[in-house]
Amino acid sequence: NMVPETCEKIYVGKVPGNHSMAQDEINQVLVRHALKGKMIVRLKGGDPFVFGRGGEEILELEKHGIPYEVVSGVTSPVAALAHAGIPITHRGIGQSFHVITGHTAIKSKGIGALEAEDDTLTDGFAEYAKLQGTLVFLMGLKNLDLIVERLIKNGKDAKTPAAIVTDGTLPSMKCVRGTLGVLPQLAKEHGLK
């Protein structure tokens, strides 16, 4: 809202199931405008280097010899939980945290994977279920049922404290707390999207 009127704004945002541009196109928009001598600001929601494809954009800039600067904020897994009053680590309870994608474009093939055609979860649930500390699944609400099912199937206790945070740090933020086993039902009851 504070961008001067003289600036050109190009929307390249993504919402689940609706991407305004493919990543390759976004990369080319950055390069095309930078090569015209323009100063570009690529504003990203969340952390550009945590499942945010910021690395792909930088590689493309480097390929064309375009200088850049990254201005980082607080990473979303930490910020969203903090805003909800949930410490990502806590002395005596959780001494580590693990950030896992809640969906990927690459089909699962490994341990704990299902054979579903539309399976968009990453491999590794046999390992994730055994990890101590806080597990954070980013962008995982669409796959919540599968995430919970695979964690429990691979040994995570269904009574493990759990929460869903949507729209972290925004005025529309919602946080629902419960246990792992009832999390999908809580999401439905609270109409989380």
- Return the number of other C-beta atoms located less than 10 Å from residue 27's C-beta: 20
Share of the chain above pLDDT 90, in %: 63
CB 98 within 8 A of CB 142: no
CA 113 to chain CA mean position, Å: 20
What's the distance, Cα to Cα, between the start and end of the chain in Å? Answer: 26
Q: Give the pTM.
A: 0.74
CA 78 to chain CA mean position, Å: 12
Per-residue pLDDT tens digits for 152-185:
999 999 999 999 999 999 999 999 999 999 999 9
**Residue 17 above 80 pLDDT?**
no
Give the model's confidence band at 72: pLDDT under 50 very low, under 70 low, under 90 confident, else very high: confident
The tokens for 78 are 């930490």
Per-residue pLDDT tens digits for 34-43:
999 999 999 8
